[in-house]
Amino acid sequence: MYEVGKKGDAAMPLYENISEFQLDAFREIGTIGAGNGATALSQLMNRKVSMSVPSIKILPFAQVPDVVGGAEKLVAGVFTTVEGPAPCNILFLFPIVSAKVLVGRLMDCKYLENEGIDDVGKSALAEVVNIVNGAYLNSLGSFTSLHFIPSVPALAIDMAGALLDTVLAQIGMAGDHALLMETVFSEIEENVTGHFFLLPEAGSLEKIMEAIGVKG
């Protein structure tokens, strides 16, 4: 992992203008947004949901899949592009076991070990993510007074690396590193975890910082 905010580091031109202080501010907004997301998730599941304090990582692309346990790990991923003055990408990844428990809870059914999630279940999972994203983006929007317009979420169940590379390709033109804000949502009782990744596109982080008046 690179030391964040080190000015003029040629290896990370995309984020060279972001200071440590700004990243702290970004993390703080993220914490509040994720808190809203956890509340929404908790209401949906009718269970207590906890969240981790968001971590911010700047990683070379090749190392991103390791964050979720390796490129070949089977996961359910929901991808949302966010349009507006500060475009971002959101990828919500669930280990497949967690996805099954979560969908089973919502649909009042239980998936067997070798059973895949059916189309109705997939749609339910995408909708859950849509609601959590909405709660998160609302909070981000009210802090910054910027509009964040999410796309309809798209779901895929496959290798983590395969889902990530599509998302990373969106920001790949501008650099070789991804800035990830990661929050882990977990429900202790049945051990459901989900990784929420926010990947701002080139220039978006600067716009967000400008909007909240945090200078580097």
Partner 1 sequence: MAKILKIGMADLNVALSPEVLQTCGLGSCVGICLWDPVTKVAGMAHIMLPSSSHGKSVNDAKFADTAVPLLIDKMGKRGAHKTRLVAKIAGGAQMFSFYSDNDIMKIGERNAQAVKAALQAVKIKLLAEDTGGNFGRTIEFYAENGQLYVRTINLGEKYI
Chain residues in the site for partner 1 (CB under 8 A): 10, 13, 60-65, 70-72, 74, 79, 81, 151-152, 154-156, 158-166, 168-170, 172-176
In whole angstroms, the minimum distance from the beta carbon of 196 to partner 1 comes to: 17
Residue 198 is encoded by which pair of tokens? 């926010």
The CB-of-138 to partner 1 minimum distance in angstroms stands at: 22
Q: Which is nearer to partner 1, 106 or 157 (by Cβ)?
A: 157
Min dist CB 86 to partner 1, Å, is: 17
CB of 121 to partner 1, least distance (A): 16
Beta carbon nearer to partner 1, 53 or 169: 169
For the chain, helix, strand, coil in percent to 5 are 45, 25, 30
In whole angstroms, the minimum distance from the beta carbon of 23 to partner 1 comes to 22
β-bridge partners, 180: 57
Q: In the complex with partner 1, which residue's Cβ is closer, 145 or 152?
A: 152
User: Where are the extended beta strands (E) located within the chain?
Assistant: 50-51, 55-60, 74-83, 88-95, 149-150, 154-159, 177-187, 192-200
Between 45 and 137, name the residue whose CB sits nearer to partner 1.
137
Q: What is d(CA 50, CA 56) in angstroms, rounded to the nearest whole number?
A: 18
> Of the two residues 138 and 170, which places its CB atom closer to partner 1 in the complex?
170
Choose between 76 and 146: whose C-beta lies nearer to partner 1: 76
CA distance 127 to 183: 19
- Cβ–Cβ < 8 Å for 205, 84: no
* Tokens at 132, concatenated: 């959590």
Sort 128 into a burial class: Cβ within 10 Å, 0-12 / 13-18 / 19+: buried
Give the shortest CB-63-to-partner 1 separation in angstroms. 7
CA distance 45 to 26: 28
